[in-house]
Homo-oligomer: A and B are copies of this chain.
């Protein structure tokens, strides 16, 4: 008799990833599709139906029983009601994703915000194992934090805990996607790094390719482009200061860095480590600062793990 599996889905603003995952952490029949320009309620429902249907059929063919489903989704999430309350990247609000997937599978469904799902994944199955308190600092297109202690994930009264990307760090700074100014993301989020580098490099007469992403900015910085290098240093400083703030407030045992900007070898990983080491507090050991082990599957595996544990509870 084969073990039951969780059908896990990680729905992002750019990609959707889905798979079967069992308690041995085996990933089966992984399915990845570009979300691209498919925005709005109907499109998102269709993408979810396709992904869940595809993985469901593969699992059935291989004789595995789907016992539960776990969804990692962006934006503001109401886990109790199984809703995406609001996700700007997907153009949806109050979308009952749990009901949709439960209707397709006839199995119980758990829904969690993507960064919190990844936090749970790294804490149970990754680089955060056993750490208490535990901080997961995610920097990709946006920036957010997952925070746990005593085995509990902080969600906040409105499901909005962890949104430090929209913490103001520059007085009268650049406009942010949230409508504010000078938020952390404008300096250190993937979109902010790209926008600042393109604008400042053009102004300095050393233009970068139009549409350059944060990864390319890091690459040309490493090859000596002075404006790109300064933009990357500014991002590293801002992320480092955020890590010190988290260290002071939470006194965590470990900080795990995740998301595209903290890929292994990224200069931003070293910047955060050095900043934390350069700001010790008497008699308080600094947290370990390590890169996540689950990589781009952190949200997927976290959602699977949450779902399997809900089943076992």
A92 vs chain B, min Cβ distance (A): 12
Tell whether A150 is near chain B: CB-to-CB under 8 Å: yes
Q: Are A281 and B133 in contact (CB under 8 A)?
A: no
Q: Are A244 and B156 in contact (CB under 8 A)?
A: no
CA distance A162 to B250 in the complex (A): 6
CA distance A161 to B245 in the complex (A): 11
Given A249-B249, A251-B158, A252-B157, check contact A76 B167 (CB 8 Å).
Answer: no
Q: Are B76 and A159 in contact (CB under 8 A)?
A: no
Tell whether A49 is near chain B: CB-to-CB under 8 Å: no
A selection of 11 A-B contacts at a CB cut-off of 8 Å is A133-B161, A154-B250, A157-B285, A160-B251, A161-B249, A163-B248, A164-B248, A164-B249, A166-B248, A166-B281, A245-B245
Tell whether A85 is near chain B: CB-to-CB under 8 Å: yes
- For A244, the chain B residues whose CB sits under 8 A away are 167-168
User: A160-B283, A179-B282 known; 19 other A-B pairs, CB under 8 Å?
Assistant: A85-B283, A86-B282, A86-B283, A133-B154, A133-B161, A156-B250, A157-B252, A157-B285, A157-B287, A158-B251, A160-B281, A161-B249, A162-B248, A164-B248, A167-B245, A167-B248, A167-B249, A168-B244, A168-B279
Tell whether A180 is near chain B: CB-to-CB under 8 Å: yes
**Interface range on chain A (Cβ under 8 Å from partner):** 35 or more
- For A246, the chain B residues whose CB sits under 8 A away are 249
Tell whether A145 is near chain B: CB-to-CB under 8 Å: yes
- For A159, the chain B residues whose CB sits under 8 A away are 251
A284 vs chain B, min Cβ distance (A): 4
- For A168, the chain B residues whose CB sits under 8 A away are 241, 244, 279
- For A149, the chain B residues whose CB sits under 8 A away are 152, 154
A281 vs chain B, min Cβ distance (A): 6
CA distance A280 to B282 in the complex (A): 35
- For A161, the chain B residues whose CB sits under 8 A away are 133, 249-251
Tell whether A30 is near chain B: CB-to-CB under 8 Å: no
Q: Are B164 and A279 in contact (CB under 8 A)?
A: no
Tell whether A313 is near chain B: CB-to-CB under 8 Å: no
